[in-house]
Amino acid sequence: MKAVIISIGDELLKGHRVNTNAPFIARQLGTIGIPVSRIVTCSDDPQSIRDSIISALEESEAVLMTGGLGPTNDDRTRKTVQELFGRGLVFDEPSFERIAELFRRRGRPVTEAMRSQAMVIEGSITVPNTKGTAPGMIVDCAPRFEGRHLVLMPGVPTEMEAMMRLTVIPFFAPLSGSFIRHTPVMTMGIGESQLSGMIAQVENELPPGTMLAYLPHAAGVSLMVSSSGTLREQVDAENRRVVEAIVERARLFVYAVRDVRLEEVVVEMLLEKKMTVAVAESCTGGLLASRLTDVAGSSGCFLQGMVTYSNEAKVAQLGVDPATIEQHGAVSEPVAEQMAQGCLERGGADIAVSTTGIAGPGGGTPEKPVGTICIAVASRSGEGEVTVEASTFTMHGDRQQNKTRFSEAALRGLLVRLKSSAA
């Protein structure tokens, strides 16, 4: 069994919006062992919708569509499907009740006109919309396409996502004959080619049914190990074996074997060790603090951040010695060390990290080109003694990429120190 995803929307074809619905649907189908053979984006135009549906149904057992449902879209998709299969509409009482209830809660009047939104294609299974108004539908395409199903969902991500989880996946799970296991292996501080060299042997000896994908991102690369087969236990065992072999070879660079961001691992470790953190940022400009505070529960360990962009702020807020800035420049390991130390002491935290560098596009020099970053980590030992250590890296991105990579390097610095700390 395989699936085709059809995303409807002129705004997608114009490139004004990135299609995030299709990858979500693909990942969900992946969890029940249904691979996606094609993703098609087509226009709002009925002819284009019809052509896409027919060619998708000729190719696969499950066709999942998003878009063109709901009040502002003139229900174009529903009408096209109706005409294609020669079916009428029937009134769905539970959908109407749900829509009416939503309007009542928002203090808006319930009108007869809303009944049209609660009309579903006859013979289809209604997919309740728990996050909006228009219901989705699972249409059995027999007799023309025997044993094939077409799923209609709205394009609004929150509505579609709830429908997938609550109704569509439970519907297709028993129809799928195979199991898939995906395990992400998250790495930091290593490039694709270097990582690839390190695990070449594992990659060359992958068992049949197991695949390895490299997923490079702004600050490094992660791996996805995917195994599939008809026996759940065998699939799981093979997947685990490959993951273990990779971790063994790339141990120094792997920070997790689950889909988790570096900042989440840092916050988890801080909370576990009951340690508090403070950050002092120059070139990352608040991004480091923002990433840490993105993590729910970070208020349990994150005390404060100082974004000291100007030299004056570094001196006033963090107690950096103006003479050090004068002698080594603001982007230097000695300044990074004083920033981290000042941040630790003034912030009253157990561990502190600082960043000072050149994000670009301006400000580079031959000795310190754009992309140069100095990072320092300061922490207190059990006896209250402060250890500060700085390091320098060079990144090769634009301003935005550099900020991301700088913040990643700082998180990495925190993680390494946390791992080695006794507390």
Give residues 314-343 in contact with its own copies (rule: CB under 8 A): 317
Q: In the complex, what is the shortest distance from the CB of residue 343 to its own copies, in angstroms, rounded to a whole number?
A: 11
Residue 107 three-state SS: coil
What is the token pair recorded at 203?
């990659």
Nearer to its own copies, 55 or 82 (CB): 55
List binders of its own copies among 34-93 (CB under 8 A): 35-43, 48, 52, 55, 72
**CA dihedral angle for residue 419, residue 415, residue 296, residue 220, rounded to 10 degrees:** -140
**Which one of residues 113, 296, 323, 422 is an interface residue with its own copies (CB under 8 A)?**
296
List binders of its own copies among 352-381 (CB under 8 A): 359-363
Q: In the complex, what is the shortest distance from the CB of residue 140 to its own copies, in angstroms, rounded to a whole number?
A: 25
Q: In the complex, what is the shortest distance from the CB of residue 362 to its own copies, in angstroms, rounded to a whole number?
A: 7
Mention every residue, 6+ apart, whose C-beta is less than 8 A from residue 99.
114, 117, 118, 133
Q: In the complex, what is the shortest distance from the CB of residue 11 to its own copies, in angstroms, rounded to a whole number?
A: 5
**Which one of residues 206, 303, 315, 416 is an interface residue with its own copies (CB under 8 A)?**
303
CA 256: distance to chain centroid? Answer: 15
Nearer to its own copies, 11 or 326 (CB): 11
List binders of its own copies among 387-406 (CB under 8 A): 399-400, 403
State yes or no: residue 410 binds its own copies (CB under 8 A): no
**Which one of residues 234, 290, 392, 421 is an interface residue with its own copies (CB under 8 A)?**
290
What is the token pair recorded at 114?
């809303």
**Which one of residues 25, 57, 320, 418 is an interface residue with its own copies (CB under 8 A)?**
25
Backbone angles phi, psi at 6, to 5 degrees: -115, 120
List binders of its own copies among 194-253 (CB under 8 A): 196, 211, 213-215, 224, 226
**Which one of residues 85, 96, 179, 302 is an interface residue with its own copies (CB under 8 A)?**
302
Instruction: Choose among 252, 261, 409: nearest CA to 336.
Output: 409
Nearer to its own copies, 206 or 303 (CB): 303
State yes or no: residue 308 binds its own copies (CB under 8 A): yes
**Which one of residues 284, 355, 356, 372 is an interface residue with its own copies (CB under 8 A)?**
284
Count of residues that bind its own copies according to CB under 8 A: 80
What is the token pair recorded at 80?
């096209």
**Which one of residues 67, 132, 347, 371 is an interface residue with its own copies (CB under 8 A)?**
347
Whether residue 330 contacts residue 358, with contact meaning beta carbons closer than 8 Å, is answered with no
Q: In angstroms, how far apart are the furthest CA atoms of the chain?
A: 83
State yes or no: residue 178 binds its own copies (CB under 8 A): no
What is the token pair recorded at 375?
């990072």
- Round to whole Å and give the CA distance between 135 and 102: 13
Spell out the long-range contacts of 380-388 with Cβ–Cβ below 8 A and sequence spacing 24 or more: 380/344, 380/350, 380/351, 381/422, 382/422, 382/423, 386/341, 386/344, 386/345, 388/337, 388/340, 388/341
The tally of CA atoms less than 13 A away on the side-chain side of residue 145 is 19
Whether residue 273 contacts residue 246, with contact meaning beta carbons closer than 8 Å, is answered with no
Q: In the complex, what is the shortest distance from the CB of residue 111 to its own copies, in angstroms, rounded to a whole number?
A: 15
